[in-house]
């Protein structure tokens, strides 16, 4: 597969970069030709560390600037750009903890060597701090704190500034660092400036650190990662020219004794830019999604090249010592140490072998736990399939979810909190993914429809109160207890069943104020009082449900007010009789939006949280305030041409009136695509164009008419719900076309669809 190959290409360069780093520290050509060695170790090898930083930039830093781009209007997306999505934060935290752990391990490995060679004789406490934070506790370990500090700086800046501004800032920092590094000779001649740099060098020994060096490459990686079109010929020419210029720059500085240190060149930036583009270019053609899939297949392997290169980096200075020691022991110093090339090869081989062994042991030791963790992280980010986007899938925009949460919270009365409805798999979005994200956003109350939904959330670590809105058979009462689920008391008789269970159960009492579906009738105050006396119930809440809060017609308004009055009257009577009233709630999405004054301790918002409302006109009214969380996508499986009068699909329902190009999609009504969209009622988006559904939607496949759309090919992504180019199809459009509400369309989206976080 092409993807795999290109990934290996990137990995191959990692390996090359690791051996270049060893070259820096062993000078393989020093014994043969001074200038050749200078070129190899002080110029060519200087691409290695920036390359590592750029990979981090592409996969970690780029996320800081990713917002909900196309699903949100330009205006809001700009605002959102400053609010990193919480899954970005999670990824960042994971990455930082991983790299901190690695740094700590490396510190420990080099501790004996450092002590032996007297590295840690600090004059002041700051010396220790400087070593830990800037210089590294061994000569190559500066990389880890530099990477951490660089990421943190870019992350903090990304809270306030846009990518171009941050790129400019990190470039300026780099230039600043340059004059303390390769261009120090210029600085040296200006006393005031020299003095300033000398002060800085008390804080850190080199400007090649997390402040002046790392940010620019992290940002560069992020920038290139976001580029869609790159021209590999241009990249190749650009690389050759800038690398040549860098070589000249390096030698000029060297000859004129300008360099205090030799990590930073002006031309290193264009060189890295073109080199990285060149390395990425193969991957580019196959798209990002496949990259993720192959990333996952890598997870399954026992040892991967990434870990090996990381360990080569960490371990090679120790191997230099080992080679020297062995050389001495065997009386072969002449060969193993003095011959710089043999020395280099010996160190490289030994580093490679020991890195492989360490990576293997780490894998074996941590395998069960790590794999579980990696897989869980993967599930969280990409959904539960090894190749989530190969057929038909749902993409979740967690930034939109967060926005919606904040908007709905702004509508809440004082002291009230959200109790999102995540029933029916969070209205088709994926209850676990959504609830976990809500947990992270500080939400700790949920409602579900049935006990099994509650169990699924608990098994996946969702915290807080989970209220079951519907019926649970008494046989399942032990489950309520075991999973700490809260049951609705759906009427008086049911209260007795709950009470007879024998162990205490948490409940909310349902009050029927006019919906006449569930709940004890509000006028039966005696029944309600009896429920309060039941010793087997722990009454945490009491609620009712409004039946016409979506309407603003006078009759509906009056009825809603009457329902609220009945509810509050019941509460007042309980209070008057001396009962302690638990938490109360009566609002769902429409109630909160239309009648915020009705109050309550919780608002059980469902549909609005997902960024739409039940009807199209309401959805449109809130279009700028509520942002759709879900997109539904599938693949084009096949493209073919129909001659005039040929028909396609079941029942010959579509017949070509002229030569017609059709495409088959890998999604059908079993995935929740309403069959009523057949025969041109519905459309999908492909490459920014609308294409009508042709003939009858099948169980697993759908045919569309793409006659007027250029370049449609097998494997193309089609958007069924969501945005493509300037076109957008909302779930509200589909609901309108199929004469139902968005709630139904969403909650019917099938379990065969994979849910992924965008
Ligand atoms: C489904 C449900 C909700 C959520 O309704 P939305 O209109 O989607 O906000 C709230 N309360 C009860 C009792 C429900 O059944």
Do residues 359 and 27 touch, judged by C-beta distance below 8 A? Answer: no
Is it the case that residue 63 has pLDDT exceeding 90? Answer: no
Q: Which residue's CA lies nearest to atom 4 of ligand 1?
A: 606
pLDDT of residue 2: 36
Task: Report CA-CA distances (Å) from 69 to 59, 65, 723.
Answer: 18, 10, 10
pLDDT (tens digit per residue) in 447-481: 999 999 999 999 888 999 999 999 999 999 999 99
pLDDT (tens digit per residue) in 89-143: 878 988 999 999 999 999 999 999 999 888 888 888 898 999 999 999 999 999 9
Is it the case that residue 174 has pLDDT exceeding 80? Answer: yes
- Of 587, 604, 732, the residue with max ligand 1 atoms within 8 A of its CB, to mutate for a pocket test, comes to 604
pLDDT of residue 372: 63
CA dihedral 104, 105, 107, 111 (to 10 degrees): 140
The verdict on the CB of residue 272 being under 6 Å from ligand 1 is no
pLDDT (tens digit per residue) in 584-617: 999 999 999 999 999 999 999 999 999 999 999 9
Is it the case that residue 83 has pLDDT exceeding 80? Answer: no
* Domain covering 413-610 in this structure, CATH number: 3.20.20.10
The verdict on the CB of residue 605 being under 6 Å from ligand 1 is yes
Concatenating the DSSP letter of every residue in 128-148 gives: HHHIIIII-SSTTTTHHHHHH
pLDDT (tens digit per residue) in 208-227: 999 999 999 999 998 887 66
User: Which of the given ranges, 179-188, 257-266, 296-305, 414-423, has the highest pLDDT on average?
Assistant: 414-423
Hey, CA dihedral for 204, 208, 212, 217, is it positive or negative?
Answer: negative
What tokens appear for 390 in the block? Answer: 């190969």
Mean pLDDT of the 328-342 span: 87
What tokens appear for 748 in the block? Answer: 């019917």
Burial-class residue 334 by CB neighbours within 10 Å (0-12, 13-18, 19+): exposed
Using pLDDT thresholds of 50, 70 and 90, give the confidence band for residue 427: very high
In sequence order, the β-bridge partners of residue 664 are 638, 703
The answer to whether 650 is a known catalytic residue is yes
Do residues 701 and 638 touch, judged by C-beta distance below 8 A? Answer: no
> Domain boundaries in the chain?
6-284, 287-382, 413-610, 630-757
Do β-strands 717-724 and 683-686 pair in parallel, antiparallel, or remain unpaired? antiparallel
Domain 630-757 has CATH 3.40.50.2300: no
User: Ligand 1 centre and the CA of 606: distance in Å?
Assistant: 6
Do residues 458 and 484 touch, judged by C-beta distance below 8 A? Answer: yes
The verdict on the CB of residue 607 being under 6 Å from ligand 1 is yes
The answer to whether 423 is a known catalytic residue is yes
Question: How far is it, in rounded angstroms, from Cα 563 to Cα 35?
Answer: 88
The verdict on the CB of residue 626 being under 6 Å from ligand 1 is no
Q: What is the DSSP letter of 27?
A: -
Is it the case that residue 283 has pLDDT exceeding 80? Answer: no
pTM: 0.57
Please enumerate in sequence order all residues whose Cβ is within 8 A of that of 755, keeping only pairs 6 or more positions apart, or say none. Answer: 383, 384, 393, 394, 396, 429, 430, 433
pLDDT of residue 298: 42
Using pLDDT thresholds of 50, 70 and 90, give the confidence band for residue 84: very low
Contacts of 345-349 spanning 24+ positions with Cβ under 8 A: 345/28, 347/22, 347/26, 347/316, 347/319, 347/320, 347/323, 348/19, 348/22, 348/316
Mean pLDDT of the chain: 89
Q: What percent of the chain has pLDDT over 90?
A: 75
pLDDT of residue 213: 97
Task: Report CA-CA distances (Å) from 721 to 634, 645, 688, 731.
Answer: 10, 31, 13, 6
Q: Do domains 413-610 and 630-757 have the same CATH topology?
A: no
pLDDT of residue 305: 84
3-state secondary structure of 364: helix
Q: H/E/C letters for each residue in 557-573?
A: HHHHHHHHHHHHHHHHH
pLDDT of residue 376: 61
């Amino acid at each position: 597969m092409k993807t795999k190959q290109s990934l290996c290409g990137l990995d191959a360069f990692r390996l090359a970069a690791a051996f270049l780093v060893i070259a820096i520290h062993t000078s393989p050509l020093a014994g043969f030709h001074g200038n050749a060695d200078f070129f190899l170790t002080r110029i060519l090898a200087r691409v290695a560390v920036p390359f590592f930083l750029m990979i981090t930039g592409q996969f970690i830093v780029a996320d800081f600037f990713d917002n909900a781009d196309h699903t949100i209007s330009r205006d809001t997306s700009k605002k959102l750009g400053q609010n990193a999505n919480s899954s970005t934060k999670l990824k960042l935290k994971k990455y930082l903890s991983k790299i901190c752990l690695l740094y700590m391990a490396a510190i420990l490995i080099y501790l004996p060597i450092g002590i032996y060679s007297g590295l840690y004789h600090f004059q002041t406490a700051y010396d220790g701090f400087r070593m830990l934070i800037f210089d590294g506790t061994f000569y190559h370990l500066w990389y880890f704190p530099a990477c951490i500090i660089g990421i943190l700086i870019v992350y903090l800046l990304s809270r306030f500034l846009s990518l171009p501004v941050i790129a400019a800032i990190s470039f300026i920092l780099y230039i600043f660092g340059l004059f303390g590094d390769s261009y120090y000779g210029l600085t040296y001649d200006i006393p005031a400036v020299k003095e300033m740099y000398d002060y800085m060098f008390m804080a850190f020994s080199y400007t090649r650190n997390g402040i002046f060096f790392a940010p620019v490459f992290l940002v560069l990686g992020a920038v290139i990662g976001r580029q869609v079109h790159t021209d590999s010929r241009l990249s190749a020419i650009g690389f050759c020219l800038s690398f040549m210029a860098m070589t000249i720059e390096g030698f000029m500085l060297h000859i004129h004794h300008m360099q205090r240190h030799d990590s930073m060149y002006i031309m290193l930036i264009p060189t890295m830019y073109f080199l990285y583009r060149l390395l990425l270019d193969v991957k580019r053609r196959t798209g990002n999604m496949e990259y993720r899939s192959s990333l996952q297949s890598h997870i399954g392997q026992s040892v991967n090249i990434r870990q090996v290169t990381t360990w080569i980096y960490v371990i090679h200075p120790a191997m230099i010592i080992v080679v020297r020691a062995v050389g001495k022991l065997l009386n072969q110093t002449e060969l193993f140490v003095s011959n710089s090339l043999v020395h280099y090869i010996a160190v490289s081989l030994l580093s490679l072998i020991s890195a492989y062994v360490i990576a293997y042991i780490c894998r074996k030791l941590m395998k069960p736990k790590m794999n579980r963790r990696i897989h869980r992280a993967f599930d969280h980010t990409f959904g539960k399939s090894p190749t989530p986007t190969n057929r038909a899938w749902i993409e979740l925009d967690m930034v939109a979810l967060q926005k919606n949460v904040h908007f709905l919270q702004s509508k809440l009365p004082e002291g009230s909190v959200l109790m999102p409805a995540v029933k029916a798999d969070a209205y088709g979005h994926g209850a676990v993914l959504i609830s976990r994200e809500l947990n992270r956003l500080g939400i700790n109350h949920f409602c579900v429809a049935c006990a099994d939904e509650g169990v699924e959330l608990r098994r996946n670590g969702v915290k807080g109160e989970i209220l079951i809105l519907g019926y649970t058979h008494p046989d399942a009462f032990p489950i309520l207890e075991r999973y700490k689920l809260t049951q609705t008391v759906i009427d008086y008789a049911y209260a007795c069943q709950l009470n007879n269970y024998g162990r205490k159960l948490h409940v909310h009492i349902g009050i029927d104020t006019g919906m006449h579906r569930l709940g004890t009738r509000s006028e039966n105050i005696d029944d309600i009082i009896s429920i309060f006396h039941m010793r087997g119930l722990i009454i945490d809440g009491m609620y009712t449900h409004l039946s016409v809060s979506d309407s603003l017609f006078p009759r509906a308004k009056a009825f809603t007010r009457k329902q609220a009055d009945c509810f509050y009257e019941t509460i007042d009577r309980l209070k008057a009789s001396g009962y302690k009233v638990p938490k109360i709630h009566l609002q769902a999405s429409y109630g909160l939006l239309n009648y915020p004054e009705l109050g309550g301790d919780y608002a059980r918002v469902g549909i609005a949280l997902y960024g739409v409302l039940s009807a199209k006109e309401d959805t449109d009214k809130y279009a700028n305030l509520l942002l759709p969380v879900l997109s539904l996508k599938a693949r084009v499986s096949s493209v073919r041409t129909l001659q005039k009068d040929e028909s396609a699909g079941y029942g010959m329902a579509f017949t070509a009136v002229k030569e017609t190009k059709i495409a088959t999609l890998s999604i059908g009504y079993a995935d929740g695509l309403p069959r009523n969209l057949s025969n041109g009622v519905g459309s999908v988006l492909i490459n920014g164009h609308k294409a009508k559904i042709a003939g009858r939607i099948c169980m697993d496949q759908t045919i569309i008419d793409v006659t007027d759309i250029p370049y449609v090919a097998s494997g193309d992504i089609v958007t069924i719900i969501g945005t493509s180019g300037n076109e957008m199809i909302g779930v509200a459009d589909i609901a309108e076309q199929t004469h139902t509400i968005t709630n139904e369309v969403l909650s019917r989206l099938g379990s065969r669809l994979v849910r992924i976080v965008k």
